[in-house]
Amino acid sequence: MKRLAAGAVAGVTALALSGCSESMEWEPGGGDGPAPSPSPIDADTDELQAAFEEQSGLVVPDNASDMEIEAQMLEGDRPEYTLRFVTTRGGAEVVCDADNFGVYAAQEAPGDEEREVFDYQESDEEIGDAVRCEGSNPKQPRVQRLVSVVFPEDGFKEGPDAPDGEDVAVVYAHSILWLRR
């Protein structure tokens, strides 16, 4: 009987220490458990754009139009920004020419990773070409950046085989500050 009681006490202690007890509450930064919900950052478009540019080190081109920005504060006071705007191929190059940015060769449509981050408004049939750029901010290595540029079929000036600086480009950009390790 003593062995059975000692075994039961040891088992309950192990469950409590491992976090498997349903009576234990999760605390932020305390390991496994639900992460707190992100909270929207309430600001106007110009303020959010400036904050995105400061965090990411990327520059939104002067000819950008139809700007859409979503911003939220994640656990640990970590801002996350997602943008969409229309520009030209030349304007998209301004974004993708940033320091510490790898540019990946053109593809017919965005890949799976980009689709996990961005909610594309253009269908695959409307996209004539796509380019991906990514890398951390060299001044803030914890800031990761991903940019996906799509070129709508009907926005080519000279056709898909003759890139032109005035081709219409739709830029999707994402910037997130990662937790300290």
pLDDT higher than 70, residue 2: no
Q: How confident is the model at residue 170 (pLDDT cuts 50, 70, 90)?
A: very high
Q: How confident is the model at residue 76 (pLDDT cuts 50, 70, 90)?
A: confident
pLDDT higher than 50, residue 181: yes
Structural domains counted in the chain: 1
DSSP the chain: -HHHHHHHHHHHHHHHHHT--TTSPP-TTSSSSPPPPPEE----HHHHHHHHHHHH-----TT-EEEEEEEEEETTTEEEEEEEEEEEHHHHHHHHTSTT-EEEEEESS--HHHHHH---SS-TTTEEEEEEEEEEETTEEEEEEEEEEEEEGGG-SS-TTS--TTSEEEEEEEEEEPPP-
- 162 compared with 22, residue with greater pLDDT: 162
At 114-161, the pLDDT tens digits run 999 999 999 999 999 999 999 999 999 999 999 999 999 999 888 777
In a domain, residue 31? The reply is no
pLDDT higher than 70, residue 35: no
In a domain, residue 85? The reply is yes
Which residue range(s) make up the domain with 107?
38-117+124-177
- Rounded Cα distance, 96 and 105, in Å: 12
Looking at residues 156-168, what average pLDDT do you find? 83
Looking at residues 94-111, what average pLDDT do you find? 86
| Cα separations in angstroms, 147 against 24, 43, 81, 131 | 41, 22, 12, 8
In a domain, residue 87? The reply is yes
Q: What is the pLDDT of residue 40?
A: 92
In a domain, residue 173? The reply is yes
In a domain, residue 97? The reply is yes
In a domain, residue 66? The reply is yes
Beta bridge partners of 133: 103, 147
Would the CA dihedral through 165, 166, 169, 175 be positive or negative?
A: positive
Q: What is the pLDDT of residue 52?
A: 97
Q: What is the pLDDT of residue 146?
A: 96
Winning range, highest mean pLDDT, from 19-23, 37-41, 47-51, 155-159: 47-51
